[in-house]
Amino acid sequence: MKSFTIQLSVLAFSLLSITAQASSAFAEYDADKDGYISLSESKVNPKLMAQFADLDTDEDGRLSESEFAKFNG
Ligand SMILES: [Ca+2]
Ligand SMILES: [Ca+2]
């Protein structure tokens, strides 16, 4: 019975993370919650940092949520 409960929690958690992924990833990178991902905030993910210049289409040195939406890591 216990393992069934664990499986159920794992399943619920997976569903939650799939649903939350799109909106929460941005918030996770935006450590200071200013609504933008700065280059230093992107350093937690080398792939994001590598694509930073390409994603920053308006070249203001930070990624807005719509610019970040084009990131595929
Ligand atoms: Ca920020
Ligand atoms: Ca930008």
CB 67 within 8 A of CB 55: yes
Give, as residue ranges, everything with CB less than 5 Å from ion ligand 1: 30, 32, 34, 36
pLDDT in tens, 1-53: 677 776 767 666 665 655 455 558 999 999 999 999 999 999 999 999 999 99
Distance 55 CA to ligand 2 centre (A): 7
For residue 16, the model assigns a pLDDT of 60
Q: Which of 70, 66, 32 is nearest to 48 (CA)?
A: 70
For residue 23, the model assigns a pLDDT of 58
Q: Is the dihedral of CA 49, 55, 57, 60 positive or negative?
A: negative
What are the boundaries of each domain within the chain? 23-73
For residue 15, the model assigns a pLDDT of 59
In this prediction the pTM is 0.68
For residue 48, the model assigns a pLDDT of 97
Query: Rounded to whole angstroms, how far apart are CA atoms 46 and 27?
Result: 17
Alpha helices in 1-73 (DSSP H): 2-29, 39-42, 46-55, 65-68
CATH architecture of 23-73: Orthogonal Bundle (1.10)
